[in-house]
Amino acid sequence: METSIEYQSYIADTKNLKTTQGRLDYQAPYTNDFEAIFSRVMDEDIKLSTAKNFIENLSPGELGIIQKYNGLADAIDKGSLNAEAAYNLLMHDNEQYDFNKDGTTQVGAANIMSTVPAAMTPDIRGAYIEALNSLEGKDRLMAITLTFDTARITFLINNTPYTPQTIDYAYLSEKVDQMLNPTGGGFTSEETKEGIKAFWEVLENSYNGKKNVNVEEKREPTVEKFLNDLRTKGAVVFLADFNKEKIEDMIKEFKEKLVKSMGSTPENLVEIEQLVNAYRKQLLEEMEANLDDDEKNIKINTQATVKILLDLKDKEEKPLEKLLQIDS
């Protein structure tokens, strides 16, 4: 299986997406045979670069199982497969991925609009999946349409250059508002509005709840420690240390997702540690690239951050603001 940080983070979330009963019922006659093939895929550690070769060595009967399990209308044409199309044929639904970032997930000859698009930011993915899991039938389908990449649709219709649309909280919020408050002659039925409202309520509670938990866990010790470290370390060293603390939190969350997704066997733990180390290296490199060497700018950035943290305190604690003064 592919082990890139981005992909493993994605499937750590999508493994929580509930499969509809209709899909489960359809796949049921082919599941055991598909799992036997999937077991070989795991044993041979098939990746993007080797998936096509693996498929070329399958029997017609095995290809038929994969075709049926994935719900493909036509028989699999080995010669027409690219790496993404071949790899996704061998994966479960929630492990299929848009590796080339063209807006669709290629599964054999099919181009699928994924339920959880690769362009969705990791911070919103878990909340989105939780909200989808709370819906059934047409309410669920209507919620999925909120993530349709209009840039992809424009590309297909007008053959214009394609740039993936980042799907984050702001994007989904705007789409929900358009559904609930249509303009320009648009119309949304009251039944659809109720479904969208239910979806959005769950998503917001999940998304904001996670943020609030993190704030509550850290707000009291962070503010005092933050101000003290700022005074004693100086702006440059402080800002670097502050970013490293945030990075360690991100790494911890990433590792927990990997363990949940991949399991905790000794072999997997070794692989997980390698992925975590690569992720840490990537984040530290990004932090160093973003740190401004100009002390004046660092000072401004630090003061802005202090102000944000001070806003978390009660208004009675305003005297702390005097500590914002940093020596020139």
Q: Give one DSSP letter per residue of 169-199, joined into a string.
A: HHHHHHHHHHHHS--TT----HHHHHHHHHH
Give per-residue pLDDT as tens, 169-204: 999 999 999 989 988 878 888 988 998 999 999 999
Residues 16 and 58 in one domain: yes
Among 112, 141, 164, the domain-final residue is 112
Residues 9 and 101 in one domain: yes
Q: How many domains does the chain have?
A: 3
Among 70, 92, 112, the domain-final residue is 112
Q: Considering the domain boundaries, does residue 189 fall inside one? A: yes
List phi, psi (to 5°) of 110.
-90, 145
Nearest 10 degrees: Cα torsion 109, 111, 115, 121: 120
Residues 277 and 305 in one domain: yes
Q: Considering the domain boundaries, does residue 224 fall inside one? A: no
Cα–Cα distance for residue pair 270/263, rounded to 1 Å: 11
Average pLDDT over residues 61-66: 97
Q: Considering the domain boundaries, does residue 71 fall inside one? A: yes
Cα–Cα distance for residue pair 267/43, rounded to 1 Å: 12
How many beta carbons lie within 10 A of that of residue 146, not counting itself? 21
Q: Considering the domain boundaries, does residue 156 fall inside one? A: yes
Residues 97 and 136 in one domain: no
Q: Considering the domain boundaries, does residue 10 fall inside one? A: yes
Q: Give percent above pLDDT 90 in the chain.
A: 42
Residues 106 and 183 in one domain: no
pLDDT at res. 313: 46
Give per-residue pLDDT as tens, 91-138: 999 999 999 988 889 999 999 989 999 999 988 999 999 999 999 888
Residues 129 and 105 in one domain: no
Q: Considering the domain boundaries, does residue 278 fall inside one? A: yes
Cα–Cα distance for residue pair 273/201, rounded to 1 Å: 36
How many beta carbons lie within 10 A of that of residue 241, not counting itself? 12
Q: Which domain holds residue 254?
A: 234-324
- What is the identity of the amino acid at 31? T
Residues 80 and 106 in one domain: yes
Residues 141 and 97 in one domain: no
Confidence of residue 25 (pLDDT cuts 50, 70, 90): very high
Cβ neighbourhood burial of 217 (10 Å; 0-12, 13-18, 19+): exposed
Q: Considering the domain boundaries, does residue 218 fall inside one? A: no
Q: Check residues 85 and 223 and name the one with the higher pLDDT.
A: 85
Q: Answer yes or no: are the C-beta atoms of 135 and 200 closer than 8 Å.
A: no
Question: How many degrees, rounded to 5, is the angle at CA 18 between CA 14 and CA 19?
Answer: 105
Among 112, 143, 176, the domain-final residue is 112
Average pLDDT over residues 225-230: 56
Give per-residue pLDDT as tens, 264-320: 777 777 788 888 878 777 777 766 666 554 444 544 454 555 554 455 444 444 444
Q: Considering the domain boundaries, does residue 217 fall inside one? A: no
